[in-house]
Structure 1
């Protein structure tokens, strides 16, 4: 197990470029299974979760060429379906939740798919019902072996159908969408997720020859085609990393320019930070965050405490609430952080309280933060990263804290952030990987 040693407080300055979007990468890499032709994908983040998925596809028989750490070609000409029954497949696939999205392409192309219960962050209940509901509506049969914790989906014939998803699941929408593009007839997916990741997947599938309308809305209409071809695709900058850098700049009173941030794809993220009192300027494709001595949280019009809450897109992404929470600890004013989607994602606040933060954990979904207005700095501490997003929030806290902090289990951070220590050290951070 590796650790970060951080000596703070750190004042950073300069330019930083966000990595490619992790969540988009997991989807579009799985989509390469839909065709036997070559698919080239650029701006792939060089992170553990994505690299594990690439290795999984390679073991399934996909031919992979690596042009650079961030650009690959995939050719899924011959998939070894027998490998999906092996212990090696179960072990590798169960370690990564995003690999559940191989099921849609395999079902559409081969009429069957197998998958172990997936892993990923331990942030509460993350059910898969939406995925299997969509597959069943298309005509597939679903089997689950509880003793082996193994899922099987198979179908002699798939047929387009109308479905209303029970929740706007991003991975569920992606999985059903990828199954539908090769399914005969018309499929309508209502209450579909419409995050930029899904929009990017739709655009890539369209370039491959899919017939999809309603891109960017919560109603997708797919007319199935017989075959898809190869294409080239470039992944968007990671909005979660962009948001993390904005929060980090404010928390550490640093002056930072985030280059090539694709601000048009950030939705409510800039507005939510402005409600926290954080100044930022959009300069073309870049975001400039000036050094701020203080930032004051707004109140609602009637004077009541500001609430920052997650919601399905175009609402605020839940992946950034950990960052908003830690940034609030040094704001002027108070805020209620309401994490609606996952019931265990706020459980890292005890580590911030140990560092001197004033936080009341109301229940598993809500925390009230009373900001210190940079009057009382956080103090260095020893802590363990519980998941990807809490891990980077703790890193931001440590960068602003006085003294030495140690974060253990940084493999969780490495799952989602590419060489984060090296990139931040280049602009003035003091992070040592142990």
Structure 2
């Protein structure tokens, strides 16, 4: 197990480029299974979760030419579908929640799929009902193997149908969409997720020959086609990294430029950090965060305490709730953080409180942060990363704290952030990876 040794209190300066979007990558890379023709994907984040997804494709027979660390040419013209039922596939895919995204393309093209018990972050219950019910409505049968903890899916042929999702699940929408593009007839998906990453997937599929209407809305209409062709696709910058870097700059009183930030795809993210009092300048597609002695949390118009909560797009992404909470600890003023979508994501705040932050954990979903306005700086401690986003929130706290901090279990951070230690070192951060 590796750790970061961090010496905080350093003001950072310079430019940083966000990686390709992790959450987009897991969908886009799965979609290469829909065609036997070459698919070129660029701006791929070089992170554990994405590399594991690529390994899964290779092991089932997909040809992968990694022309650079951020660009791959995939060709799924000789897929061994039987490998999906192997113990090796179950073990490896069970470590990665993104492996569930393979099911939709496999059902569409090969008429069978295997879905392992979800892996990934331990941030609460993340059920697969939306995926499985959607596949059933399209005409798939499933069997759950209690002993091996995985779903076996099969179909004699998917047929278009009207689907009302019980929740606007991003992965559920993407999976059902990929299954529907080659189903017979018309499929409508209502209450669909409409995140930029889902829109990216739709546009890629349309370049491959899929017929999709309603992109960017919560109602997708898909006319099934017999086959899809190859294409080229470039991923968006990772909005979670962009938000993380905005928070990092403010928390450490730094002056940072986030290059090629994909501003038009960030939604309300800049607005939420602005509500914490963080100043930003948009320069083309770059975000400049100037040095600030202090930043003050806004109130609602009637003077009541600000609440920041997560919500499906175009609401605020739950992946930045941990970052916002930590950044608020050194602001002036108070804010109620309400994490609605995952019941275990706030369980790292005890460590931030141990660092000296004033936080009231109301229940598993809500925490009140009383900003100290830097009157009492955070102090370095030893802590362990429970999930990707909490790990980076801890790292931001450590970089702003007095003294040295140790962050253990950084494999969680590596799952979602590419070479984060080296990229922050280039800004002047004092951070050392210890294996």
TM-score by length of 1: 0.99
Q: Which residue of 1 aligns with 2:378?
A: 378
> How far does residue 363 in structure 1 lie from its aligned partner after superposition?
0.3
CA deviation profile, 1:336-383 (whole Å, cap 9, x unmatched): 000000000000000001100000000000000000101110000000
Q: Which residue of 2 aligns with 1:360?
A: 360
> How far does residue 121 in structure 1 lie from its aligned partner after superposition?
0.1
Q: Which shows bigger deviation, 252-261 or 82-91?
A: 82-91
Q: What does residue range 67-82 of structure 1 map to in structure 2 within 5 Å?
A: 67-82=67-82
Q: Which residue of 1 aligns with 2:48?
A: 48
Q: Which residue of 1 aligns with 2:310?
A: 310
Q: Which residue of 2 aligns with 1:326?
A: 326
Q: Which residue of 2 aligns with 1:387?
A: 387
Q: Which residue of 2 aligns with 1:202?
A: 202
Q: Which residue of 2 aligns with 1:282?
A: 282
Q: What does residue range 241-260 of structure 1 map to in structure 2 within 5 Å?
A: 241-260=241-260
Q: What does residue range 2-401 of structure 1 map to in structure 2 within 5 Å?
A: 2-401=2-401
* CA–CA separation in structure 2 for the residues paired with 1:295 and 1:81: 55
Give unpaired runs (5+ residues) of structure 1. Answer: none
Name the SS of the counterpart of 1:376 in structure 2: coil
Name the SS of the counterpart of 1:371 in structure 2: strand
* CA–CA separation in structure 1 for the residues paired with 2:281 and 2:184: 48
> How far does residue 268 in structure 1 lie from its aligned partner after superposition?
0.4
* CA–CA separation in structure 1 for the residues paired with 2:264 and 2:13: 24
CA deviation profile, 1:232-263 (whole Å, cap 9, x unmatched): 00000000000000000000000000000010
Name the SS of the counterpart of 1:115 in structure 2: strand
CA deviation profile, 1:84-135 (whole Å, cap 9, x unmatched): 1111000110000011000000000011111221200000000000001110
> How far does residue 147 in structure 1 lie from its aligned partner after superposition?
2.2
CA deviation profile, 1:217-236 (whole Å, cap 9, x unmatched): 00000000000000000000
Give unpaired runs (5+ residues) of structure 2. Answer: none
CA deviation profile, 1:157-182 (whole Å, cap 9, x unmatched): 21100010000000000000000001
How many residues end up aligned between the 2 structures? 434
* CA–CA separation in structure 2 for the residues paired with 1:218 and 1:282: 29
* CA–CA separation in structure 2 for the residues paired with 1:10 and 1:49: 30
Name the SS of the counterpart of 2:372 in structure 1: coil
Q: CA RMSD in A?
A: 0.5
* CA–CA separation in structure 1 for the residues paired with 2:147 and 2:50: 29
> How far does residue 79 in structure 1 lie from its aligned partner after superposition?
1.0
TM-score by length of 2: 0.99
Name the SS of the counterpart of 1:333 in structure 2: strand
* CA–CA separation in structure 2 for the residues paired with 1:155 and 1:82: 15
> How far does residue 146 in structure 1 lie from its aligned partner after superposition?
1.9
> How far does residue 70 in structure 1 lie from its aligned partner after superposition?
0.4
